Amino acid sequence: MFKTIKDIDNLLKKHTEYRKGCLNLIASENYSSEIVRSYLSSDLGNRYGCYTTEDPSDREYTGNKYIHEIEMNTQKLAKDVFGGKYADLRPISGHMAGMAVVLGILEPHELVIEVSLEDWGHGLVGPMRQVSQFGETIKVEYMKFDQDRAVDAEALKKMAKELKPKLIIFGGSGTLFPEPVRELRQIADEYGIILAYDASHVTGLIAGKVFPNPLNEGADIMFGSTHKSFPGPQGGFIVSNRKDLIEKIGNTLSPSLVTSHHLNRIPAFAASLLEMKEYGHEYGVQIIKNSKALAKAMTKRGFNVLGADRGYTETHLILVDVGEYCSQMPGKLLERAKILCSDDFSGASPQIRVGTPEVTRRGMTEEDMDYIAELFRRVLIDNEDVDVISKDVEAFVAKYQELKYAF
Ligand SMILES: *Cc1c(COP(=O)(O)O)cnc(C)c1O
């Protein structure tokens, strides 16, 4: 148990020092700028800003004079960056944004098609079925992927025609290539299907205009997290060009799922939106260069990197099938070498997911990816002593403590 402030301070300092010495390749994390971090500790973190979805100026609490202005200006900025007519910034996380979309759109017993956990789906709807209230009322099916880990558009079209879902949710936690949103638009119109895009992972790439904007491709709604490839504070957002949908979803979100919407995120998000307007493209271009370079370097060292026939990846991450080398948890072994990434055992063979957002923000480029691939080889293929490797990792990351593409 903590007894004094000093105890808390000490442990926080230890955490910061520890993470400073780690090579962070977790695709769903990022390093935000000092200005973003400082706004998170502003007075807004202790205020309420509840409003009615139809009229954000209709605020339940008093004292919201400037809060309203800050929130509306941030909304405008989000609409500008993501190219949607309407935005809702109240979801406190990407998952919460997705819940609001699912519960706002589906009537009981209607079907949704999403990405399965085995295919690096986030599990927005599937796990909801374990909640007894939803178990029998929410129906879910999963889209199929091809050999190269891209969504099989033809199979999805066929599935949509046969099963007539109410909602299709594109996007997952292991997206390597743009999804066939455009290809599904006509069928969606014919069958009255709503197309949603879960951009949690690729928000930063969309903001940087290096990944197709789903709203331009025909998605009715886009939602996601603000802290993965997008280097903002932790939080969520929803954008759409359809007023009816944004209102329906907003009215589900509030007051059923969110009441205090953690207002300190809002100016922090605004700062990162401005940052992305300024540097997002350059940042996104380098992220993709780094991912491709890492994929090639890992392949050269004997790893089975997925998506080879399509150039491995068009995003901030690569997927590596490590079944040949690892029987136990590769993520935990890599962690002992101070290399952080995600692993997954739900499919036929264990995979690791390696992401480039944070190392790109820290200033790493293509040559550094070659060294990173070498580190992976030493841990997973050569089975070198992880304590020895961790010292090399510390020395390597010590050279990259600045922050690029940031104010
Ligand atoms: C991370 C993730 C989420 C959840 O976002 P949080 O901000 O962690 O709540 C939702 N969908 C996908 C595809 C994700 O990768």
Q: What is the pLDDT of residue 327?
A: 67
Pick the last residue of a domain from 220, 244, 272.
272
| 380 and 330 Cβ atoms separated by less than 8 Å | yes
Q: Does 81 share its domain with 185?
A: yes
Name, in order, each residue with C-beta under 8 angstroms of 303's C-beta and a sequence gap of 6 or more. Answer: 320, 322, 373, 376, 377, 380, 381
Per-residue pLDDT tens digits for 95-124: 999 999 999 999 999 999 999 999 999 999
Q: Does 202 share its domain with 295?
A: no
Question: How many whole angstroms from 224 Cα to the centroid of ligand 1?
Answer: 7
d(CA 323, CA 349): 5
Distance, CA of 150 to chain centre:
17
Per-residue pLDDT tens digits for 129-156: 899 989 889 999 999 999 999 999 999 9
pTM of the model: 0.97
Pick the last residue of a domain from 253, 272, 291.
272
* Residue 95 lies inside a defined structural domain of this protein: yes
Look-up: residue for tokens 């309420």? Answer: 48
Q: Does 114 share its domain with 254?
A: yes
Per-residue pLDDT tens digits for 258-271: 999 999 999 999 99
Confidence of residue 289 (pLDDT cuts 50, 70, 90): very high
| CATH for 131 | 3.40.640.10
Partners of 353 in beta bridges: 319, 342
User: What is the number of the ligand 1 atom nearest to the C-alpha of 235?
Assistant: 7
User: Which one of 101, 122, 124 would you pick to mutate in the ligand 1 pocket, going by the greatest count of ligand atoms within 8 A of its CB?
Assistant: 122
Alpha helix segments (H runs only) across 199-329? 203-207, 214-217, 243-252, 265-300
* Residue 91 lies inside a defined structural domain of this protein: yes
* Residue 342 lies inside a defined structural domain of this protein: yes
| 327-349 mean pLDDT | 90
Question: How many whole angstroms from 382 Cα to the centroid of ligand 1?
Answer: 34
For residue 350, what are the domain limits? 280-397
| 9-26 mean pLDDT | 98
217, 26, 393, 371 alpha-carbon torsion, rounded to 10°: -30
User: Which one of 201, 202, 226 would you pick to mutate in the ligand 1 pocket, going by the greatest count of ligand atoms within 8 A of its CB?
Assistant: 201
Q: Does 266 share its domain with 287?
A: no
d(CA 247, CA 386): 52
| Ligand 1 pocket, residues with Cβ under 6 angstroms | 28, 93-95, 98, 122, 124, 171-173, 198, 200-201, 225, 236
Pick the last residue of a domain from 272, 304, 322.
272
Q: What is the pLDDT of residue 346?
A: 85
Question: How many whole angstroms from 225 Cα to the centroid of ligand 1?
Answer: 6
Q: Does 268 share its domain with 306?
A: no
**pLDDT, the chain, mean:** 97
Q: Which residue has the higher pLDDT, 133 or 224?
A: 224
* 3-state class (DSSP) for residue 355: strand
Q: State the distance between the two ends of the chain, measured CA to CA, in whole angstroms.
A: 38
Which among 358, 370, 368 is positioned nearest to 26, based on CA atoms?
Answer: 358
Give me the phi and psi of 226, to 5 degrees please. -115, 20
Q: Does 42 share its domain with 180?
A: yes
Which among 387, 353, 392 is positioned nearest to 371, based on CA atoms?
Answer: 392
| 320-339 mean pLDDT | 91
The domain tally of the chain equals 2
- Look at ligand 1, atom 13, and give the residue with the nearest C-alpha: 172
- The alpha-carbon radius of gyration of the chain (Å, integer) is 21
Per-residue pLDDT tens digits for 172-210: 999 999 999 999 999 999 999 999 999 999 999 999 999
* Residue 331 lies inside a defined structural domain of this protein: yes
* Residue 1 lies inside a defined structural domain of this protein: no
* Residue 27 lies inside a defined structural domain of this protein: no
Q: Is the pLDDT of residue 359 over 80?
A: yes
Q: Are β-strands 111-114 and 139-142 bridged in parallel, bridged antiparallel, or unpaired?
A: parallel
